[in-house]
Structure 1
């Protein structure tokens, strides 16, 4: 187990130890009935002393008592182990939530939505085998075969050695299947299954695109992934199938019984006949030794998956979180000063030593070609992730030093991927300001051009998003804008706030941003230059650098990238008209 799991298991170790002990008792109790039955059979056949006495009559009662002990011990062990599993998974999910709350945003981008969901759901559930079954199974695997081994060694050592041959062969077969010689096929199978799951998720999220271009794009990717998994799975089955089938045959009851009888006949030929009672004990206890080996062999795949999940969870817990700021001072205003800012993703540098000054109360726009670093700049200013170099002052205070509560009150970021939570529309708009009055909420919705649509609903602002009403992309974007307009923050970072709206609505929304947030600092990322042409300052971003700054008129007269972008957009708008 990983250090995180060991640390989380500390409060539960006594329960785990008790579960393992109970499982050991259950294992021993499961052997006693067979020993007693073999003794009973020997007594009946030989007609020895005690066949009609108290020991003979007591055997059924002893068998019943040991069965009760087995049942109670097994049930308690399972209950304790699964209780630990449930409590541990709850603790681990809470720890993951706390850790992911402070994880840099670029980590989430690398993982993707499916990757994060797998951590919180599939990987945590995969620990079930590692926590709820492996420790108790290991206890049974050690105790039951060892006890049976001692009993059979006392009865007939030579026959025991003979009976151990198929068990040792099966154990060696399981070890061979887990060896590097067979590991590559299993790795390719798992990788192909993972690829198929990802592609199916993408296919489900882009059904219109898949139907529009059948046989290509998303659909083609799923088809190729399915064929790849079929090929990898077939190769895995062909590689391990004959070995696995042989192991199943060797550990099967009929084969083990035949093997024991063969050994008994060989001893008889050698002049060492075995009585009926010891022979029954060998027939029953050899199978008892084989069962744990078979169970652990089949559980090895789940155990290896659980260990891999534990390693992934450990990697997440080892991820350095964003540190909590501890400055005692509050930013004096919404001004921003950036010097020498650099930010890199693992595969490329996005911001290359940029400087930026945003005056208090100014309307600023960040424009430029796609992929030039505009959205990344906003996320860094919101401290969704820390830069590799450079300084950021917000209201005269270093951004890193701002406590989370202060930063959240002072800075609001409206991301390009706006969302509506499963709450009422009133609660959705008041998310950043829960104490807001209803009239203020309505005014924010009016400014975002959403009030009329909401009031037309049967339940109005009490309508639940996703249940009473399904908002369109543009409506969700306006809902998020209304949420921002209601905030009392001093610095607003708006990433394409009108990208899902028509040009007329977009102009109205930009007017609301200018008027409703007048006196507060605003930085807007926008591709439609006409919507921000009246900004106090326009910053032109290109390939991670700020190549020009100024007003719309100044940038047009200066020529360069901004003037080229402006002419291209005006030409495209004229052609569209």
Structure 2
């Protein structure tokens, strides 16, 4: 109802138009009934009455066509506007959410809301108001007319309606609704796992795990199939019973039986059986459609709930009074952070990144390295404490200015279905072709791009494909084009061979020259020349210093080094 509030006036118009159209739709049936009465009475027919019935029936049919078409047209226009509005709102909200939010929500889940859930509302908006209006107006009007003709046979005609409603109540219990919700959630999980499986197929194949991962997906699909079949089996008998008692043959057989008995007893004129043969089906048809309509409403409720939850996610607040940083010094002051579950991830972090220096974050998995690094480009805001850039709280820097000063490169580089040039210039859409080419050259990607069918105008995913290492270099070219003075780097290259790693390393050397760097280090030999190595455990800084100082101290870092490289020290030093 909250989503539909802006369209309430037009939806009321849909209900009124559909009600008039539904009532007018009974006119042809009533005209046939009156024609039957006139023609079946002994003696000559009253031509005036005959033509009056014909004209009224034709007029009713015309009114039905016009009014139901108008109701359907308005309903579809409202549906189109709501779809457009929701997708715009969702796109706007997704663009303002903390980047870290996406780490906990799969692309399949987001796509399910933006595409699937919005589309699910179509039937609710465009069709359900008309269907439910007809489901109320037609039976009520038909019941009133039939009761006026003969109340006894009317009660007989109501037996299928009452049976059908009773079955629908049994199919609409809270438990059944919970099961329906579970089915929708299971389908969402299957969709999300499909997307994630396809997106990660290159990594899966690299490690020869395609068969194992595929089996895991198949098990998930099989589990869903078993659950769904059980859900359907529980309701199959009731659904079949409902279809039987509401079917026209059953209704007509019941009415004919009751009418024949009444006629045989001379308690009802034979001509009065005609309206029951024509209108009794009108009593049951809307009830038969009611089950499908309720299914659509339940599905729409769940979709609207997911849409509402996404629209309710609080975006990062924008500064009321934007500030301009002075310089590129980065400072963490008493920073703590906890995710939504309240579990603290960082505890009172104090850290300074001087301009032009390299600071490496090392530590075991779950130590808080990634979270600490993600606070700098404002993937999240600290729970307490402050992150400063150039003496200014980053919360007081507009996003556009922050991302001009802070760039970040992670191993999983996302490429759009756009030209290579557009992918490189993603953050600088007005960049010249010469600047794009210069960035690609510096990243060591220009020669590869030149081999593509249309060079820089080749569309990734259509006539061009890049390997993982090439995508990484494209990400470096993006950062070079932005020319941000502060860089956040995830140096993990677990999926790169030695040749690709060397090429990426050379591109990184070009990118990092003279910039302030915060590096998440996974292999310790890559950061031996860092100006400051920060060792983290359980969300706290336990050691910091240069490589030689930390090795000489013989603490946590030295133990980590020995675990990775044995007892070697200087012999293992690599490039930073």
Check conservation: 1:327, 1:403, Cα contact below 8 A. Answer: no
Secondary structure at the counterpart of residue 324 of structure 2: coil
The alpha-carbon distance between structure 1 residues 525 and 259, as it changes in their structure 2 partners (threshold 3 A), is same
Match of 2:351 in 1: 356
Check conservation: 2:15, 2:71, Cα contact below 8 A. Answer: yes
**1:545 Cα offset (Å):** 1.8
CA distance in 2 between partners of 1:200 and 1:225 (Å) = 10
CA distance in 2 between partners of 1:359 and 1:294 (Å) = 73
Check conservation: 1:127, 1:309, Cα contact below 8 A. Answer: yes
The alpha-carbon distance between structure 1 residues 572 and 387, as it changes in their structure 2 partners (threshold 3 A), is same
Question: Where does 1:315-326 land on structure 2 (aligned, <5 Å)?
Answer: 315-326=309-320
Question: Where does 1:320-359 land on structure 2 (aligned, <5 Å)?
Answer: 320-346=314-340, 348-359=343-354
Residue deviations 1:258-309 (CA, integer Å, cap 9, x gap): 1112222343455521341x32111211211211111121221121011111
| Structure 1: gaps (5+ residues) | none
Residue deviations 1:12-58 (CA, integer Å, cap 9, x gap): 33332222222112211211111110111111111367x24222134
CA distance in 2 between partners of 1:82 and 1:133 (Å) = 8
The alpha-carbon distance between structure 1 residues 110 and 509, as it changes in their structure 2 partners (threshold 3 A), is closer
Secondary structure at the counterpart of residue 109 of structure 2: helix
Check conservation: 2:109, 2:188, Cα contact below 8 A. Answer: no
In the alignment of these two chains, the number of paired residues is 567
TM-score (norm 2): 0.91
Match of 1:43 in 2: 38
Secondary structure at the counterpart of residue 350 of structure 1: strand
1:419 to 367, 390, 414: 414
Question: Where does 1:139-288 land on structure 2 (aligned, <5 Å)?
Answer: 139-180=133-174, 182-183=176-177, 185-205=179-199, 209=204, 217-268=212-263, 271-276=266-271, 278-288=272-282
Match of 1:367 in 2: 362
The answer to whether 1:460 aligns with 2:458 is no
The answer to whether 1:481 aligns with 2:476 is yes
**1:485 Cα offset (Å):** 1.6
Match of 1:569 in 2: 564
| Structure 2: gaps (5+ residues) | none
**1:183 Cα offset (Å):** 4.2
For the aligned residues, what is the CA RMSD? Answer: 2.7
2:393 to 398, 409, 424: 398
Secondary structure at the counterpart of residue 486 of structure 1: helix
Check conservation: 1:382, 1:412, Cα contact below 8 A. Answer: yes
The answer to whether 1:549 aligns with 2:547 is no
CA distance in 1 between partners of 2:433 and 2:545 (Å) = 40
The alpha-carbon distance between structure 1 residues 174 and 257, as it changes in their structure 2 partners (threshold 3 A), is same
Secondary structure at the counterpart of residue 469 of structure 1: coil
The alpha-carbon distance between structure 1 residues 446 and 93, as it changes in their structure 2 partners (threshold 3 A), is same
The answer to whether 1:116 aligns with 2:110 is yes
Match of 1:536 in 2: 531
Check conservation: 1:507, 1:531, Cα contact below 8 A. Answer: no
Residue deviations 1:306-359 (CA, integer Å, cap 9, x gap): 111101111112221111123332001121111222223355432233221111
2:284 to 269, 290, 293: 290
The range that moved more, 94-103 or 227-236, is 227-236
**1:181 Cα offset (Å):** 5.2
2:489 to 487, 494, 506: 494
TM-score (norm 1): 0.91
